Amino acid sequence: MPDSFAGFDVVEVRFKGGRKEFMRNDLRLPLVTGDAVVVDAAGSGWHLGHVSLKGELVRLQMRKKKVPLDSKEIRNILRVATDDDNQRWEAVRDLETGTMFRARAMVSELRLRMKLSDVEYQADRTRALFYYSAEDRVDFRELIRRLADEFRVRVEMRQISLRQEAGRIGGIGPAKQVADYAVQRGVTYVNHTFTSHLALSASMQPFAGLADHVICEYPAAPKALAVELTRNHLVPDANGQVCAPDAPGLGMHIDAQAVQRYQLAVEIRVAGRTLYTSPVFAP
């Protein structure tokens, strides 16, 4: 194997909300997927994340995202997180919800046309990222000053799209909290789904018990795979309504034989080394 492929020194690290960054493992720490690591934070200080990908698959991801191997923006992993590091990280995470609601109050006081959706503290509590969405440009200089004065941190505002905002929710449970919040605010909750009936069932679970919320995004013209993926389907009744399954789990039954028909054998090889072989999906 060429030296350039021996022990690739960049790993992918996951942070809050599914945000991922490439980090350099200059110290050649023996990392495995899921390890908590302390990384050099942008600007100054340190942050804590978890290894989500390592090895040659990271090289392929960098190539796909057009990130140069020698990019100066790739920061270093400082160490494997200690118990003290993890405790400090958990402590700042406990501050995030309260900080977000206080920041939203400031936005309202300043009459800013923007929506704060999340807050992420750096693990060393020297910086905080405030994620927001807005239709137009927002002058939040006064907001930044107030946030910095009250929370004694460096403030960074990071704009995200509505789709990115929805992607940060993270599962049926949090989506149910959003649905309950919509009820409290008198706002109609509408699901968002891909084209399969399996995904449709998952997207219906958060508001299936809300009688007054009856608008459903429905896959009207799905592709063949989306239909054949499951043995049962969620079909509108005579009134045009779709009912969530009452069976355990998502209530959908995967058609293993159909999946097998669509499965392609995939093998990823780099410099003669097999990195990935697709598993056999047995019916």
Question: Would you give per-residue pLDDT tens digits along the chain (283 residues)?
Answer: 344 444 689 999 999 888 899 999 999 999 999 999 999 997 689 999 999 999 888 998 999 899 999 898 999 999 999 999 999 999 999 999 899 999 999 999 999 999 888 899 999 999 999 999 888 899 999 999 999 999 999 999 999 876 666 666 667 877 887 888 888 888 888 887 767 899 899 889 988 888 888 898 888 888 888 889 899 999 999 988 888 898 888 999 989 888 888 877 888 877 777 877 877 766 5
* Residue 224, Cβ density class (10 Å: 0-12 exposed, 13-18 middle, ≥19 buried): exposed
Where are the chain's structural domains? Answer: 3-81, 87-166, 170-250
Beta carbons within 10 angstroms of residue 140's beta carbon: 20
Question: How confident is the model over 9-51, as pLDDT tens digits?
Answer: 999 999 988 889 999 999 999 999 999 999 999 768 999 999 9
Map residue 17 onto helix, strand or coil. Answer: helix
Question: pTM for the complete prediction?
Answer: 0.64
For residues 234 and 244, what is the distance between their CA atoms, to the nearest angstrom? 7
CATH for 87-166, options being 3.10.20, 2.60.98, 2.60.40, 3.30.300: 3.30.300
Strands (E), 69-228: 75-80, 115-121, 127-133, 154-159
Q: Which two tokens stand for residue 234?
A: 């969620």
Question: How confident is the model over 222-245, as pLDDT tens digits?
Answer: 888 888 989 999 999 998 888 889
pLDDT at 268: 81
Give the H or E element holding residue 38. Answer: strand 36-40
40 near 13, Cβ under 8 Å?
A: no
9 near 26, Cβ under 8 Å?
A: yes
196 near 221, Cβ under 8 Å?
A: no
Handedness of CA 139, 141, 147, 153 (dihedral sign): positive
What values do phi and psi take at 130, rounded to 5? Answer: -110, 115
What residue has token string 């400090």? 88
pLDDT at 141: 94
For residues 144 and 147, what is the distance between their CA atoms, to the nearest angstrom? 5
CA proximity to 51, closest of 14, 7, 8, 76 = 14
What residue has token string 């505002």? 157
For residues 7 and 235, what is the distance between their CA atoms, to the nearest angstrom? 51
Q: Under 8 Å CB-to-CB from 69, ≥6 apart: which residues?
A: 10, 59, 62
CA distances for 252 relative to 18, 245, 263, angstroms: 27, 7, 20
Q: Which two tokens stand for residue 165?
A: 């905002």
